[in-house]
């Protein structure tokens, strides 16, 4: 049981490039979400999903897209990377009424 797996762990992008951060969970959780964490700050919710085919925006959705074609996977797409998107990104999943499980994070630097 791997839990929540994020890839890659580290990534450097040039301004304007696009990329997809991968998140997969093997716990059959309905709910998945993406957070970003800037240095010394708390986590801010980007997008979340309550099931396959259903996604919604969180606090800071601009510049990011998500889709949920399967229960297991919830990729986060950066459409045109900007230096302001330099951050650590965490994916989380949970079942209704239970605590959230987080991945180890993806450290993204946009130059």
Partner 1 sequence: LAKTTQPISMDSYEGQEVNITCSHNNIATNDYITWYQQFPSQGPRFIIQGYKTKVTNEVASLFIPADRKSSTLSLPRVSLSDTAVYYCLVGDRRNTGFQKLVFGTGTRLLVSP
Write out the residues near partner 1 by the rule CB under 8 A: 4, 31, 33, 35, 41-45, 48, 50, 56, 58-59, 88, 90, 92, 96-105
Other CB atoms within 10 A of residue 54 CB: 11
Q: For residue 49, what is the DSSP state?
A: E
* Structure-token pair, residue 97: 């009424």
Give the nearest distance from C-beta 33 to partner 1 in angstroms: 4
Give the nearest distance from C-beta 82 to partner 1 in angstroms: 23
Give the nearest distance from C-beta 36 to partner 1 in angstroms: 11
User: Based on CB atoms, which residue is closest to partner 1, 34 or 80?
Assistant: 34
User: Based on CB atoms, which residue is closest to partner 1, 78 or 103?
Assistant: 103
Give the nearest distance from C-beta 96 to partner 1 in angstroms: 7
The Cα–Cα gap between 96 and 94 comes to 7
The Cα–Cα gap between 11 and 27 comes to 26
The Cα–Cα gap between 10 and 93 comes to 21
User: Based on CB atoms, which residue is closest to partner 1, 17 or 107?
Assistant: 107
């Amino acid at each position: 049981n791997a839990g929540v797996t994020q890839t890659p762990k580290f990534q450097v992008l040039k301004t304007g490039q696009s990329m997809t951060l991968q998140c997969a969970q093997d716990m059959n959780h309905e709910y998945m979400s993406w957070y970003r964490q800037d240095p010394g700050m708390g986590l801010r919710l980007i997008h979340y999903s309550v099931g396959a085919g259903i996604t919604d925006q969180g606090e800071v959705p601009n510049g990011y897209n998500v889709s949920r074609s399967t229960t297991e996977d919830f990729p986060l797409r950066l459409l045109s990377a900007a230096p302001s998107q330099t951050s650590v990104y965490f994916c989380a999943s949970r079942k209704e009424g239970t605590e959230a499980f987080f991945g180890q994070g993806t450290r993204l630097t946009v130059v």
